Structure 1
Amino acid sequence: MLRSPSEDEDSVELPLFDFHSILVATNNFDMENKLGQGGYGPVYKGTLQDGKVMAIKRLFSSSSQGIGELKNEMKLISKLQHRNLVRLLGCCIEREEKILIYEYTPNKSLDTYLFDPARKAKLDWTTRFNIIIRVARELLYLHRDSCLRVIHRYLKIINILLDEKMNPKISDFGLARIFEGTQDLESTHKVVGTICYMAPEYMLGGVFLEKSDIFNFGVLILEIISGRKANSFKYDKQYTSLLAYAWQCWSASKGVQMVDEALADSFSSSKVSRCVNIGLLCVQDHAADRPTMATIVSMLSGEQTKPPEPNQPTFMFKNISNNNFQSQSNSTWSANNVIESIIEPR
């Protein structure tokens, strides 16, 4: 293998692709080859001359995911080994171009199906529950079982890719952080992510820890069950957020009420109720009240007879506009799906 551009101690060995070969593989980044759009840039399908198909992530030249985040993602994915983590195949750094090349997942990302009225029926309850529990096991691997201790920090529906069998693969490790030894938390002046997925301690204080990933996972569970986007939730003008709606349904012993209509009656009421319960435990206001990933996997697997009762979330991300949020936090937020803010940690 060729060495990556970096020559320092954090270098990782990855194949280098020249920009011309990327242009040929994507037919000059033809829109017909575009697979999706992330906060840092578009992803294209690329086919090499030998017929090998890849997913090519082309970072915006103005992207805040610069060389540092790109190297971080290359380093992490090259060292992590799990069947449900997307594989990084190589990179290209030429002039202003910063490109990552991944394995191709033919069913694109989870949001392609979950939020599309014509496609969501393909996600039956068995498939959805399989995605939930596999993502949980992937996070347990990252937090506790891998050679590194990793906090993803950017887990959301769009970053869950689906292979040919609709099995999930976690992607986008540009913002992930490695923790060593007994280190439990870290703070940052640069808060990056999607508001509705952010744990309170991260959004308001710039503090992130394992339990921040678990908050993300709780939102993801509720989105998968309901088929509704957390960041654009509206329901009869009565509920201001997906979390509020989930709590009202669950507390009234009607957890199944929030099930996606596309599932009709083809789901297990007991499993849905358990998943809603677990989702609400994951989004507790205080990190200490959220379960660990090991406990979550145990609860999802049915090894734990009954999950504990959650408390009502008070930090429920009402549908606030950018202006309203700025007035509350004195922060500057961008208008797209990825936001950045300079926040002084507590």
Structure 2
Amino acid sequence: MDSAYFKKPKKNLGFHSSWTDTNDNPTQKLSISLRRAVWLKKVPFRFTLLEGERLDDFVLLKSKDGPVEGLSCGAGSSLTQTDSRVLKLKRNGYKYRGFIKEYFLDGDLHFNGKTAYEATYFEHAGLYPLDDAMREIRICRELERKGFLIPQKPVSLYRLELGYQNEYGMLISDISSDFRCDELTIMTLLSFFRNMIKNKRMDIDIDNEAVLFENLNISKTIKRLAVSPEMNMLKTVFHNIGALYGEMHRAGYVRGVGNAWYGNEIICADARIGLCDFDATFGEKDVMDTILFQHLKDNDINLFTTGLYGSLGAFSSCIFDIAANILIMAFRDGYVIRKERHLEPADVFQVLENFFEIRERIYLSAQQHLF
């Protein structure tokens, strides 16, 4: 295991960060899923470089039979390897189907001076509205100047000339990590619970989005979980995420609806936590309404906790719910304290090694998707 894995974490298990068969908002439903290989081909439309590096050869679309291999990054984006770096293509098609005219519910928050407006509408799948992409670039630069860690740096923005009513683009970023916190969380907990069960049955059913296990001693597990190195590591992670949210709010930014969940925090190879995905992120200078801005900050906290409870609660297991509660308390503590704690890279690497030892033996379905 080395730091290069963090750029293309192909053996990971997660939720929205990996691959989803639905397009639900992360705070509505999270689907347990694997990273999958995707096949990329040149975009069959005219495109124009709006800013940044000319990377025409990497304006690639997901397909079932493209010549370039990539790695899934949610339902709408993917990663691809160059000679010297890994690029994230956001967004470049829905699953294997490319740009499709199927619609999914989306929303838009925009401002005219001190007046805020919101609209909900149906959006084409696998496409990135150009105004969202441009805002993401701006927010990335502003946050990086303020000292936030941004592991996925935008380097190119293209306009896709599709002939649709709205304008769409593809954002290409140079990344140092795409290892998401939702992946670290579920992989850590599954490794811990598998060790508790020992020789008894435990399966992950990807097709039916379930973790199946037999006779896990809840009282014993809670006591051991509370003092385990695995949970101490995760508590540090969530404390640090809470501190990041606190620092963002103090710096005058809100994470935003759809962005405020733990899959948008990234674990770097040095165990520091960075931020990604800012298409719904706004600053005080955008909002200019102090009452609304406070509500949006409160939304960030509530959406984050909802996403964590919702994902771990999907397993219909009180032990997963208890783990979520412990991590939410750590997140809230970090938000109040607003000071990050040191996380050892070796602890993160150990979690990966532990999970990789068991991953081949615990999948009940989806074996064809395993790397």
When normalised by structure 1's length, the TM-score is 0.50
TM, length-normalised to structure 2: 0.47
RCO higher in structure (CA 8 A, sep ≥6): 2
